[in-house]
Amino acid sequence: MRTRFTLALTGFLLLAQIAATQIADFDGHWEGEIRTPAGALEIAVDLSTDNDGALSGDISIPVQGLRDLALEDVTSDGVSVHFRIPDIPGDPTFDGALTEDGSGITGQFTQGGADLEFSLIRGADQATRAKTTLEGFGQFVNKAIADFNVPGVGLAIVSGGELVLASGFGKRDRENDKPMTADSLFPIGSTTKAMTATVLGTLVDEGTLEWDVPVRTYLPSFALSDEIISSRITPRDLVTHRSGLPRHDFLWYNNQRSTRAEIVERLRHLELSADLRAEFQYNNLLFMTAGFLAGQLTGGTWEAAVRARLFEPLGMTRTNFSVLESQQDPDHALPYREDDDRNLNVIPFRNIDLIGPAGSVNSSVTEMSRWLLLNLRSGKLGDRQLIQPTTLADIHSPHMTTGETPERPDVSQATYGLGWGIDTYRGHRRVAHGGGIDGFITSVMLFPDDDLGLVAFTNVGSGLPALVNQHAADLILGLEPIDWTGEALAELQAGRAVQEEAEAKKGATRVEGTSPSHSLGDYAGDYQHPGYGTLRVELDGETLNLVYNDIRAPLEHWHYDVWNGAETDGDPSFKDSKFLFGSDLDGNVATVESTLEVRTGPIVFERRPDRRLSDPEYLARFVGEYELPGQKVRIELAGSRLTAVVPGQPVYTLEPDLSGRFVLAEARIISLGFESDETGRVTKVIFYQPDGVYEALRVE
C-alpha cells in the first residue's frame, strides 16, 4: 500500500510539474493582431505566472491608446489560454491555443456577438528590443558632439513602458571638466508649454475650467487690443497660438521687474496682426497668461499647481522653475555660446521666471523620462490617473495648422495641439516640441502609437537634440537609416559661408555721410510704451547706450536719426536692431521706434519729460508769486503737479513738457518756463504764446 501510494503521489507531482511547465509556456511578451473586417488591429499581450501557478497579464492596443490594461479571467489548461478585457462593452474575450512549436498563439476573439480570428507571436518585449537596438548608441552621440562642437548632450529614451536609456555625454562644465550626467539639470525651455496645458487639462477634468468658454469667464479684466477678440478668446486659444497676437517677445525677455498680473494687463496695448483663429502665431505671452489663469483657478501660483499636479506625483523632486534654483544644485549644466571662431564660451544664465508657464522649467533627462511615460500611458501613473485619457488625447490632437511647408515627403506638415506639435514622421504619429533659451536647446518627442518617447538636450544653441532623437527613433522603429546628422552638418557648414557673405553686406542700405539732427545729449531720456514699458537712452561720454529690461547695448550712429544696436557684455539681444528717433513740432526729440515685433508696425516709445518735473521736492523751488505788467500769477504746488492761478481765470494745471518747460493742460498752445539767477534762485517765469513771449518777475 505504501509503495502504490508513493507511486501515485509521485505521478501526481510529475503531472503537476508538466502542467506548470505548460502554463509557463504562455509566459512572455506576445505581439500580433485581431483580423477585423476593417483590417488588422495590432495588439500586444504580456502574460506571466506567479509563484502559486496563477496566470495574469495585460494588453496594449496602440491605435486605441490602451496601454498595459490588466486582463481578467486569465486561465490555461496547459495547451489553451483564455482571457478577457474588463470594463469594455461587448465583453471582449480571447480563446486561443499554442502553436505546435510554441512560438505563437492562435484562436478566436469575440465581442458583442462578433467572432474574429487573432494570432500572436512570441518575442522579446519592446523595452528589451529597444535596449538591444541602442547598443553602441553612445558612440554615435559622442561623434555628433565633436562634429557639431557641442559641450554636452543629455538623453533619455522610454520604450514599452520602461526607461531603456538615460545618460549624459560630453561635459556640462568644460572649464572644470565636469561630465554631463543623466541627472544634470538644464532649462527645458518651451517644452514647459505641454506641462502648462496638462495642468489646465486637470482643471477641465475637475470641472473648474472649460476649454471653449471665453477667458473672461475666469479673468474678467482680460483684454487684447481688439474688443471683439477679447470677448471671444478661450483658454484653448491661449495654448494653441491662434489668438491673432504675434510674439512681442521683447516685452518679457529679461524682464525681472514686472509681475505676470502686470503683463496680462499690458496685453491690451499690443498690436494684433491677425484675426482670432485665422493664423498660427507662436506666442509665449499668452501661454504665460494660461499659466497665470491656472494659478488663479487653484488659488495659488502656476508653480504650485504644476508641482502638486505633476512633479510630486511623478517623483520629479529636483525639477524646478528657475535657473536661480538650478544653479544651487551640484549637478547642473552651464550654458555656452559659439563665437565666430567656433570657440565655446560660457554665457550667463537667462532668468525667464516671468514667462514661466511658457518655458522656465528646469529638469534632468532622468526626471523628464517620467513625464514621457505619463504621456505615453494615457495620463496614468501606476494606479493613479493624473489626467483623464480623453483629456490627454485632446491635448495630443491637432487644433491648429501651422502653415509650415514640409521639408521632406516622409514627414507631414506640422499641426499644433495644446502645447504640442503634431505630425506624421515616416509613417508614425509624432507628438513633439522643442525648447530653446540662451545656451540650451531641448527636444521632446513622443510616438504614442509605438509606445516610444525621447528627450535630448544640449548646453549650446544647436539643432542636435532633435537629430539625436530622430536617429534613435529610426533605430527603434526599424526604419531605413537616414544620415540626419550628416545632412544637417553639411547644411550648417554651407550656411556659415552664406552668413559670412551676408554680414559683409549688411551696410548696403546705409546712407553714408549723414549726421544726427541733434546733439547726443538731446537723445538721452526715458521713453515709454503702454505695453512694452520703459526704454532708456543714456549718454556716456560720447556714446549713447540703450537700456531695456536691464539689457544694456551701445548705439552706433547709422544714418540721419537712425541708430544701430551693438553687442555688449556678450549679450547680442539688440545687435543690428535699428532705432529711429523722431522730433515734435518744437524740435524736441520726442520718440524712438524700432521693429521689435516683425509682424506689426514699429513699436513707438514716447519720450517722458525730465523726471524732476514731477518731483515735489524739486518743484517747490518754483512756488511763488510772479508779476506781469498789470497782472499777477501765482504758482502753487498740488501733489506732484504745479498749478498757475491767475485772478479772474480758471486754475491752470502745468504738465511737464519735453522742452523742460510746462504746458498748460487747459490751453496747450501756451507753455511756460522758469529762469534762475547765479545762486539758483528762481527769478522769473516766461510765458510762450503764439503771439509772443512774456516774462513775469518773481515778487514773492
- The answer as to whether 650 is a domain residue is yes
The residue out of 123, 155, 172 marking a domain boundary is 123
d(CA 661, CA 354): 38
| CATH code of the domain covering residue 87 | 2.40.128.120
On whether both 677 and 588 belong to a single domain, the answer is no
- Give 416's contacts (C-beta < 8 A, 6+ positions apart): 240, 241, 280, 398, 399, 400, 401, 402, 422
Q: Identify the pLDDT of residue 1.
A: 37
Checking if the pLDDT of 150 tops 60, the result is yes
On whether both 650 and 628 belong to a single domain, the answer is yes
- The answer as to whether 178 is a domain residue is yes
Checking if the pLDDT of 8 tops 50, the result is no
Q: Identify the pLDDT of residue 25.
A: 80
On whether both 164 and 142 belong to a single domain, the answer is yes
The beta-carbon contacts of 602-607 under 8 Å, at least 24 apart in sequence, are 603/250, 603/529, 603/531, 603/532, 604/529, 605/527, 605/528, 605/529, 605/532, 605/534, 605/535, 606/527, 606/528, 606/529, 607/525, 607/526, 607/527, 607/528, 607/658
Q: What does the pLDDT look like over 598-614, one tens digit per residue?
A: 999 999 999 999 999 99
Q: What does the pLDDT look like over 471-482, one tens digit per residue?
A: 999 999 999 999
On whether both 478 and 562 belong to a single domain, the answer is no
Q: What does the pLDDT look like over 364-381, one tens digit per residue?
A: 999 999 999 999 999 998
- The answer as to whether 91 is a domain residue is yes
On whether both 680 and 637 belong to a single domain, the answer is yes
- The answer as to whether 3 is a domain residue is no
- The answer as to whether 2 is a domain residue is no
CA angle 98, 103, 107 (to 5 degrees): 35
Q: Identify the pLDDT of residue 11.
A: 39
d(CA 296, CA 394): 23
On whether both 101 and 176 belong to a single domain, the answer is no
Q: What does the pLDDT look like over 320-343, one tens digit per residue?
A: 999 999 999 999 999 999 988 899
d(CA 151, CA 139): 15
Q: What does the pLDDT look like over 159-206, one tens digit per residue?
A: 999 999 999 999 999 999 999 999 999 999 999 999 999 999 999 999
Q: What does the pLDDT look like over 109-121, one tens digit per residue?
A: 999 989 999 999 9
On whether both 350 and 255 belong to a single domain, the answer is yes
Helix (H, G, I), strand (E, B) or coil at 13: helix
Q: Identify the pLDDT of residue 50.
A: 86
On whether both 584 and 486 belong to a single domain, the answer is no
Q: Across the chain, what does the average pLDDT equal?
A: 93
Based on the structure, what is the number of domains in the chain? 4
- The answer as to whether 255 is a domain residue is yes
Checking if the pLDDT of 73 tops 90, the result is yes
On whether both 82 and 202 belong to a single domain, the answer is no
Q: Identify the pLDDT of residue 53.
A: 83
On whether both 157 and 242 belong to a single domain, the answer is yes
| CATH code of the domain covering residue 576 | 2.40.128.50
- The answer as to whether 9 is a domain residue is no
- The answer as to whether 449 is a domain residue is yes
On whether both 209 and 66 belong to a single domain, the answer is no
Nearest to 190 by CA among 467, 464, 436: 436
Q: What does the pLDDT look like over 380-412, one tens digit per residue?
A: 988 899 999 999 999 999 999 999 988 899 999
Q: Which residue segment(s) compose the domain that 63 sits in?
A: 21-123
Cell 503702454 locates to 530
The residue out of 498, 531, 565 marking a domain boundary is 498
Q: Identify the pLDDT of residue 498.
A: 86
